């Protein structure tokens, strides 16, 4: 949580500051981004829960993690343990990093689903209750090579764990769909135990220690039928303050591709 400036109480009153969004209500844990394409997974059908300590599938899919701000490098993922359930392992806890899933057989269509854990004092859109925080942007995209640019963005959004700070999810950030309540669309809140974790910052006032989202996307292979796809989960360099203050992780990933 990084405060940039504070408005006066009078200015806040004039602006009608509130922790209640005026945007339409959004149903919880949406299957965000599905395109109506049905993928049976006759080429690739892999599920990763990471509980057994592995992150490579028999059909060739594998994960790497790299730092977006230096000092970490491309490496095997760090498999963290959920704070209140040590047997539940996930890729994390990350801050300014990028997770890559290499899918050698991208087929002509793909389907990806996963759990996303948002941990600590995420600042969402950064605007609420007379204060300005740093915007915390997170994205999932597809590239056609390990070092190439993203060719498709599945979602680029913000999350907030502070009940008085709004977020964009389940909409894209900057697309006119922000201003939603913290934890909008979440599957569960405070289910992972990080509110009690001394290594994770949960502000004492009106905040969640963690929020758990389930995301799902399907579409046509943007790299061309039969070509590999490189799925990326990332936070732009410098967006998050630190692993203690704001972190995240990916779990229960399922990737399917069809010819």
Query: Which pLDDT does position 3 carry in this prediction?
Result: 43
Cis peptide leading into residue 235 (ω within 30°): no
| Residue that the structure tokens 């061309």 belong to | 224
| Exposed e or buried b per residue across 64-101, where buried means at least 16 C-beta atoms within 10 angstroms of its C-beta | bbbbbeeebeeeebebbebbeeeebbbbbbbbbbbbbb
Angle at the Cα of 253 (from 73 to 52), degrees rounded to 5? 80
Strand partners, 3: 133
Strand partners, 117: 212, 249
Among 32, 12, 67, 4, CA closest to 168: 32
Angle at the Cα of 187 (from 231 to 87), degrees rounded to 5? 75
Low-confidence ranges of the chain (pLDDT < 70): 1-35, 69-76, 127-133, 177-178, 237-238
Domains and CATH numbers, the chain: 27-258 (2.60.120.260)
Query: Which pLDDT does position 210 carry in this prediction?
Result: 98
Query: Which pLDDT does position 168 carry in this prediction?
Result: 93
- CA separation for the pair 154, 176 (Å, rounded): 17
- CA separation for the pair 153, 231 (Å, rounded): 10
Query: Which pLDDT does position 20 carry in this prediction?
Result: 33
Beta carbons of 44 and 59 less than 8 angstroms apart? yes
Query: Which pLDDT does position 8 carry in this prediction?
Result: 31
Do you know the residue count of the chain?
259
Burial of 22 per CB tally in 10 Å (0-12, 13-18, 19+): exposed
């Amino acid at each position: 949580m990084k405060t940039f400036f504070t408005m006066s109480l009078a200015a806040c009153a004039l602006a009608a500051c509130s922790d209640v969004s005026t945007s339409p209500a959004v149903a919880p844990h949406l299957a965000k981004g599905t395109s109506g394409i049905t993928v049976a997974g006759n080429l690739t059908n892999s599920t990763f829960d990471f509980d057994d300590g592995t992150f490579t599938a028999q059909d060739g899919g594998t994960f790497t993690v790299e730092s977006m701000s230096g000092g970490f490098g491309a490496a095997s993922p760090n498999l963290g343990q959920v704070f209140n359930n040590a047997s539940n392992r996930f890729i994390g806890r990350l801050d300014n990093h990028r997770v890559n899933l290499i899918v050698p057989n991208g087929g002509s269509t793909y389907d990806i689903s996963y759990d996303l854990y948002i941990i600590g004092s995420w600042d969402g859109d950064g605007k609420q209750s007379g204060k300005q925080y740093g915007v915390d942007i997170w994205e999932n995209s597809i590239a056609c090579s390990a070092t190439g640019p993203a060719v498709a963005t599945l979602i680029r959004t913000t999350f907030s764990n502070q009940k008085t700070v709004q977020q964009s999810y389940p909409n894209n950030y900057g697309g006119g769909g922000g201003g939603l309540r913290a934890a909008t669309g979440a599957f569960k809140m405070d289910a992972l135990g990080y509110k009690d974790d001394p290594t994770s910052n949960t502000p004492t006032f009106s905040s969640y220690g963690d929020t758990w989202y389930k995301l799902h996307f399907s579409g046509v292979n943007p790299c061309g039928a039969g070509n590999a796809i490189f799925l990326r989960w990332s936070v732009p360099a410098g967006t998050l303050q630190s692993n203690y203050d704001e972190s995240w992780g990916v779990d229960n990933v399922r990737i399917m591709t069809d010819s």
